[in-house]
Structure 1
Amino acid sequence: MAKSNFLQDFKAFAMRGNVIDMAVGIIIGAAFGKIVSAIVSDVIMPLVGLLVGGINFTDLKILLKPEEIVDGVEKAAVYLNYGVFMQAVLDFLVIALSIFFCIKMISKFNKKQEEAPAAPPAPSKEEVLLGEIRDLLKEQNQKEK
Protein backbone atom coordinates (compact mmCIF):
# COMPACT_ATOMS: atom_id res chain seq x y z
CA MET A 1 0.00 0.00 0.00
CA ALA A 2 2.75 2.44 0.94
CA LYS A 3 4.61 1.65 -2.25
CA SER A 4 1.71 2.63 -4.51
CA ASN A 5 1.22 5.88 -2.56
CA PHE A 6 4.90 6.63 -3.02
CA LEU A 7 4.66 5.97 -6.77
CA GLN A 8 1.52 8.10 -7.05
CA ASP A 9 3.16 10.92 -5.10
CA PHE A 10 6.30 10.71 -7.21
CA LYS A 11 4.28 10.70 -10.43
CA ALA A 12 2.32 13.75 -9.25
CA PHE A 13 5.60 15.51 -8.39
CA ALA A 14 7.38 14.60 -11.62
CA MET A 15 4.46 15.59 -13.83
CA ARG A 16 3.90 19.02 -12.32
CA GLY A 17 4.43 21.79 -14.82
CA ASN A 18 7.28 23.43 -12.92
CA VAL A 19 9.40 20.28 -12.83
CA ILE A 20 8.94 19.59 -16.52
CA ASP A 21 9.62 23.23 -17.42
CA MET A 22 12.78 23.16 -15.33
CA ALA A 23 13.98 19.95 -16.98
CA VAL A 24 13.40 21.40 -20.44
CA GLY A 25 15.24 24.57 -19.42
CA ILE A 26 18.24 22.62 -18.14
CA ILE A 27 18.45 20.53 -21.32
CA ILE A 28 18.16 23.58 -23.56
CA GLY A 29 20.66 25.45 -21.38
CA ALA A 30 23.21 22.64 -21.70
CA ALA A 31 22.80 22.59 -25.47
CA PHE A 32 23.04 26.38 -25.60
CA GLY A 33 26.22 26.24 -23.52
CA LYS A 34 27.80 23.85 -26.02
CA ILE A 35 26.88 26.14 -28.91
CA VAL A 36 28.32 29.19 -27.19
CA SER A 37 31.48 27.32 -26.18
CA ALA A 38 31.96 26.25 -29.79
CA ILE A 39 31.46 29.81 -31.02
CA VAL A 40 33.94 31.15 -28.48
CA SER A 41 36.63 28.50 -29.00
CA ASP A 42 36.29 28.12 -32.78
CA VAL A 43 35.26 31.58 -33.97
CA ILE A 44 35.94 34.33 -31.43
CA MET A 45 39.20 33.12 -29.88
CA PRO A 46 41.03 32.60 -33.19
CA LEU A 47 40.08 36.15 -34.18
CA VAL A 48 41.20 37.51 -30.80
CA GLY A 49 44.39 35.48 -31.14
CA LEU A 50 45.06 37.09 -34.53
CA LEU A 51 44.48 40.55 -33.09
CA VAL A 52 47.03 39.96 -30.32
CA GLY A 53 49.67 38.41 -32.54
CA GLY A 54 48.55 34.84 -33.27
CA ILE A 55 48.40 33.70 -29.66
CA ASN A 56 46.25 30.70 -28.73
CA PHE A 57 45.01 31.51 -25.23
CA THR A 58 44.62 27.89 -24.15
CA ASP A 59 48.37 27.40 -24.74
CA LEU A 60 49.35 30.24 -22.40
CA LYS A 61 51.04 28.90 -19.28
CA ILE A 62 53.81 29.62 -16.81
CA LEU A 63 56.39 26.97 -15.98
CA LEU A 64 56.42 26.55 -12.19
CA LYS A 65 58.67 23.53 -11.93
CA PRO A 66 60.67 22.04 -14.82
CA GLU A 67 60.65 18.41 -15.76
CA GLU A 68 63.19 16.44 -13.77
CA ILE A 69 64.50 12.93 -13.40
CA VAL A 70 64.90 11.65 -9.83
CA ASP A 71 66.33 8.17 -9.27
CA GLY A 72 65.60 7.20 -12.83
CA VAL A 73 61.92 8.30 -12.54
CA GLU A 74 60.84 11.13 -14.79
CA LYS A 75 58.63 13.73 -13.07
CA ALA A 76 56.49 15.89 -15.33
CA ALA A 77 56.82 19.64 -15.40
CA VAL A 78 54.30 21.72 -13.43
CA TYR A 79 52.58 24.55 -15.26
CA LEU A 80 50.17 27.31 -14.28
CA ASN A 81 47.67 27.21 -17.17
CA TYR A 82 46.29 30.75 -17.00
CA GLY A 83 45.27 30.61 -20.68
CA VAL A 84 42.64 27.99 -19.90
CA PHE A 85 41.28 30.30 -17.20
CA MET A 86 41.18 33.21 -19.66
CA GLN A 87 39.28 30.98 -22.10
CA ALA A 88 36.75 30.03 -19.39
CA VAL A 89 36.24 33.70 -18.46
CA LEU A 90 35.68 34.63 -22.09
CA ASP A 91 33.22 31.71 -22.47
CA PHE A 92 31.33 32.99 -19.44
CA LEU A 93 31.22 36.56 -20.75
CA VAL A 94 29.92 35.49 -24.16
CA ILE A 95 27.28 33.23 -22.57
CA ALA A 96 26.21 35.99 -20.17
CA LEU A 97 26.03 38.49 -23.04
CA SER A 98 24.01 36.06 -25.16
CA ILE A 99 21.55 35.43 -22.34
CA PHE A 100 21.29 39.18 -21.72
CA PHE A 101 20.38 39.80 -25.37
CA CYS A 102 17.88 36.92 -25.38
CA ILE A 103 16.16 38.24 -22.26
CA LYS A 104 16.19 41.76 -23.67
CA MET A 105 14.51 40.55 -26.89
CA ILE A 106 11.92 38.57 -24.93
CA SER A 107 11.20 41.62 -22.75
CA LYS A 108 10.84 43.79 -25.84
CA PHE A 109 8.47 41.25 -27.40
CA ASN A 110 6.38 41.03 -24.21
CA LYS A 111 6.31 44.82 -23.93
CA LYS A 112 4.95 45.10 -27.50
CA GLN A 113 2.22 42.60 -26.64
CA GLU A 114 1.31 44.61 -23.53
CA GLU A 115 1.20 47.84 -25.56
CA ALA A 116 -1.28 46.35 -28.04
CA PRO A 117 -4.51 48.29 -27.84
CA ALA A 118 -6.91 46.70 -25.43
CA ALA A 119 -10.61 46.46 -26.10
CA PRO A 120 -12.39 49.56 -24.91
CA PRO A 121 -13.98 49.08 -21.50
CA ALA A 122 -17.70 48.49 -21.32
CA PRO A 123 -19.66 51.68 -20.69
CA SER A 124 -20.74 52.34 -17.14
CA LYS A 125 -24.41 52.20 -16.11
CA GLU A 126 -24.57 56.00 -16.10
CA GLU A 127 -23.25 56.19 -19.66
CA VAL A 128 -25.79 53.61 -20.83
CA LEU A 129 -28.61 55.51 -19.12
CA LEU A 130 -27.48 58.84 -20.59
CA GLY A 131 -27.30 57.23 -24.04
CA GLU A 132 -30.87 55.97 -23.67
CA ILE A 133 -32.07 59.43 -22.59
CA ARG A 134 -30.29 61.00 -25.57
CA ASP A 135 -31.95 58.54 -27.94
CA LEU A 136 -35.40 59.21 -26.44
CA LEU A 137 -34.91 62.98 -26.79
CA LYS A 138 -33.89 62.54 -30.42
CA GLU A 139 -37.04 60.50 -31.10
CA GLN A 140 -39.24 63.12 -29.46
CA ASN A 141 -37.61 65.93 -31.47
CA GLN A 142 -38.12 64.01 -34.71
CA LYS A 143 -41.79 63.36 -33.90
CA GLU A 144 -42.43 67.07 -33.17
CA LYS A 145 -41.00 68.10 -36.52
Structure 2
Amino acid sequence: MSEKKEPGLMQGFKAFLMRGNVVDLAVAVVIGAAFTNIVNSVVKGVINPVVGALGTKSLDSYSSCLREPCTGTGDTATGVRILWGSVLGATLNFLITAAVVYFLMVLPMAKFLARQEARRRAKEGTQEVVGVTELEVLKEIRDTLVAQRGPGRG
Protein backbone atom coordinates (compact mmCIF):
# COMPACT_ATOMS: atom_id res chain seq x y z
CA MET A 1 0.00 0.00 0.00
CA SER A 2 1.40 3.30 -1.02
CA GLU A 3 0.66 6.37 1.00
CA LYS A 4 -0.10 9.57 -0.81
CA LYS A 5 2.45 12.18 0.21
CA GLU A 6 0.90 15.52 1.16
CA PRO A 7 2.51 18.66 -0.20
CA GLY A 8 5.13 20.23 2.02
CA LEU A 9 4.83 23.52 3.83
CA MET A 10 6.90 25.41 1.25
CA GLN A 11 5.00 23.87 -1.68
CA GLY A 12 1.70 24.94 -0.13
CA PHE A 13 3.06 28.43 0.47
CA LYS A 14 4.27 28.64 -3.13
CA ALA A 15 0.85 27.54 -4.41
CA PHE A 16 -0.79 30.19 -2.20
CA LEU A 17 1.49 32.93 -3.56
CA MET A 18 0.98 31.90 -7.15
CA ARG A 19 -2.81 32.18 -7.00
CA GLY A 20 -3.98 34.99 -9.23
CA ASN A 21 -5.89 36.86 -6.56
CA VAL A 22 -2.89 37.07 -4.21
CA VAL A 23 -0.68 38.49 -6.94
CA ASP A 24 -3.43 40.93 -7.98
CA LEU A 25 -3.82 42.05 -4.38
CA ALA A 26 -0.07 42.61 -4.02
CA VAL A 27 -0.02 44.72 -7.20
CA ALA A 28 -3.03 46.70 -5.95
CA VAL A 29 -1.32 47.44 -2.62
CA VAL A 30 1.87 48.64 -4.32
CA ILE A 31 -0.05 50.84 -6.77
CA GLY A 32 -2.26 52.11 -3.93
CA ALA A 33 0.79 53.10 -1.89
CA ALA A 34 2.27 54.99 -4.83
CA PHE A 35 -1.09 56.59 -5.57
CA THR A 36 -1.38 57.75 -1.95
CA ASN A 37 1.68 59.95 -2.47
CA ILE A 38 0.02 61.58 -5.49
CA VAL A 39 -3.19 62.26 -3.58
CA ASN A 40 -1.29 63.66 -0.59
CA SER A 41 0.62 65.96 -2.94
CA VAL A 42 -2.65 67.19 -4.49
CA VAL A 43 -4.11 67.90 -1.07
CA LYS A 44 -0.96 69.66 0.18
CA GLY A 45 -0.26 71.49 -3.09
CA VAL A 46 -3.77 72.40 -4.24
CA ILE A 47 -6.44 71.89 -1.58
CA ASN A 48 -4.51 73.33 1.36
CA PRO A 49 -3.54 76.55 -0.51
CA VAL A 50 -7.18 77.05 -1.52
CA VAL A 51 -8.18 76.60 2.12
CA GLY A 52 -5.29 78.85 3.05
CA ALA A 53 -6.77 81.60 0.92
CA LEU A 54 -9.82 81.44 3.17
CA GLY A 55 -8.01 80.93 6.46
CA THR A 56 -4.90 79.08 7.60
CA LYS A 57 -2.48 77.32 5.25
CA SER A 58 -3.21 73.82 6.52
CA LEU A 59 -6.38 71.98 7.41
CA ASP A 60 -4.55 70.43 10.36
CA SER A 61 -4.53 73.73 12.18
CA TYR A 62 -8.34 73.94 12.38
CA SER A 63 -9.55 72.86 15.78
CA SER A 64 -12.07 73.59 18.50
CA CYS A 65 -11.58 73.74 22.22
CA LEU A 66 -13.98 71.77 24.41
CA ARG A 67 -12.49 72.68 27.75
CA GLU A 68 -10.55 75.88 28.35
CA PRO A 69 -7.74 76.80 28.38
CA CYS A 70 -6.49 75.22 25.12
CA THR A 71 -2.85 76.21 25.08
CA GLY A 72 0.34 74.47 24.05
CA THR A 73 0.88 71.36 21.94
CA GLY A 74 1.88 67.76 22.55
CA ASP A 75 2.54 66.77 26.19
CA THR A 76 2.39 70.36 27.43
CA ALA A 77 -1.12 70.98 26.02
CA THR A 78 -3.87 71.95 28.42
CA GLY A 79 -7.61 71.73 27.90
CA VAL A 80 -9.41 69.43 25.45
CA ARG A 81 -8.81 70.22 21.79
CA ILE A 82 -10.78 68.61 18.93
CA LEU A 83 -8.65 68.59 15.76
CA TRP A 84 -11.47 68.53 13.23
CA GLY A 85 -9.25 70.01 10.53
CA SER A 86 -7.14 66.86 10.33
CA VAL A 87 -10.32 64.77 10.07
CA LEU A 88 -11.50 67.03 7.24
CA GLY A 89 -8.12 66.66 5.51
CA ALA A 90 -8.24 62.87 5.80
CA THR A 91 -11.80 62.87 4.48
CA LEU A 92 -10.74 64.96 1.48
CA ASN A 93 -7.83 62.56 0.87
CA PHE A 94 -10.27 59.64 0.90
CA LEU A 95 -12.79 61.34 -1.39
CA ILE A 96 -10.12 62.35 -3.90
CA THR A 97 -8.66 58.84 -3.87
CA ALA A 98 -12.08 57.24 -4.28
CA ALA A 99 -13.02 59.61 -7.11
CA VAL A 100 -9.80 59.01 -9.03
CA VAL A 101 -10.01 55.24 -8.57
CA TYR A 102 -13.65 55.22 -9.67
CA PHE A 103 -13.35 57.55 -12.66
CA LEU A 104 -9.94 56.41 -13.92
CA MET A 105 -10.05 52.69 -13.07
CA VAL A 106 -13.45 51.25 -12.14
CA LEU A 107 -15.65 53.08 -14.67
CA PRO A 108 -13.41 52.46 -17.72
CA MET A 109 -13.02 48.79 -16.74
CA ALA A 110 -16.79 48.39 -16.33
CA LYS A 111 -17.37 49.94 -19.76
CA PHE A 112 -14.70 47.70 -21.28
CA LEU A 113 -16.24 44.58 -19.73
CA ALA A 114 -19.72 45.63 -20.88
CA ARG A 115 -18.45 46.03 -24.46
CA GLN A 116 -16.75 42.62 -24.27
CA GLU A 117 -19.99 41.05 -23.00
CA ALA A 118 -22.01 42.74 -25.77
CA ARG A 119 -19.58 41.44 -28.38
CA ARG A 120 -19.77 37.94 -26.90
CA ARG A 121 -23.58 38.02 -26.91
CA ALA A 122 -23.66 39.34 -30.47
CA LYS A 123 -21.30 36.58 -31.54
CA GLU A 124 -23.44 33.94 -29.82
CA GLY A 125 -26.56 35.42 -31.45
CA THR A 126 -25.06 35.13 -34.94
CA GLN A 127 -23.94 31.58 -34.21
CA GLU A 128 -27.49 30.69 -33.15
CA VAL A 129 -28.90 32.23 -36.35
CA VAL A 130 -26.37 30.32 -38.43
CA GLY A 131 -27.15 27.12 -36.50
CA VAL A 132 -30.90 27.52 -37.01
CA THR A 133 -30.40 28.32 -40.68
CA GLU A 134 -28.23 25.23 -41.19
CA LEU A 135 -30.81 23.10 -39.43
CA GLU A 136 -33.58 24.48 -41.64
CA VAL A 137 -31.50 23.78 -44.76
CA LEU A 138 -30.90 20.19 -43.63
CA LYS A 139 -34.64 19.72 -43.02
CA GLU A 140 -35.38 21.05 -46.51
CA ILE A 141 -32.84 18.65 -48.01
CA ARG A 142 -34.42 15.76 -46.11
CA ASP A 143 -37.91 16.75 -47.25
CA THR A 144 -36.71 17.06 -50.85
CA LEU A 145 -35.08 13.62 -50.75
CA VAL A 146 -38.23 12.08 -49.26
CA ALA A 147 -40.33 13.76 -51.96
CA GLN A 148 -38.01 12.46 -54.72
CA ARG A 149 -38.35 8.87 -53.52
CA GLY A 150 -42.05 9.12 -53.94
CA PRO A 151 -44.92 8.26 -51.63
CA GLY A 152 -44.82 4.94 -49.78
CA ARG A 153 -41.05 4.36 -50.15
CA GLY A 154 -40.16 6.09 -46.80
TM above 0.5, yes or no, is yes
Task: Report the Cα offset of residue 23 of structure 1.
Answer: 1.0
- Number of the residue aligned with 1:77: 77
Aligned pairs for 1:50-61 within 5 A: 50=53, 52-53=54-55, 55-61=57-63
**Over aligned residue pairs, what C-alpha RMSD do you find?**
3.1
Given the alignment, which residue of 5, 14, 18 partners 2:17?
Answer: 14
Question: Which deviates more, 122-131 or 91-100?
Answer: 122-131
**Bigger relative CO (Cα 8 Å, ≥ 6 apart):** 1
Give yes or no for contact 2:59–2:85 (8 Å, CA) kept in 1.
yes
Matched, 1:95 2:100: no
- Number of the residue aligned with 1:129: 138
Task: Report the Cα offset of residue 100 of structure 1.
Answer: 2.2
Matched, 1:30 2:33: yes
- Which residue type is aligned with residue 25 of structure 1? A
- Which residue type is aligned with residue 47 of structure 1? V
In structure 2, list runs of 5 or more residues that go unmatched. Answer: 146-154
TM-score by length of 2: 0.64
Hey, which bits of structure 1, 4+ residues long, moved more than 6 A?
Answer: none
Number of aligned positions between the proteins: 126
TM-score by length of 1: 0.67
Q: Residues 83 and 6 from structure 1, CA distance in 2 versus in 1: closer, same or farther, beyond 3 angstroms?
A: same
In structure 1, list runs of 5 or more residues that go unmatched. Answer: 68-74, 137-145
Aligned pairs for 1:41-52 within 5 A: 41-50=44-53, 52=54
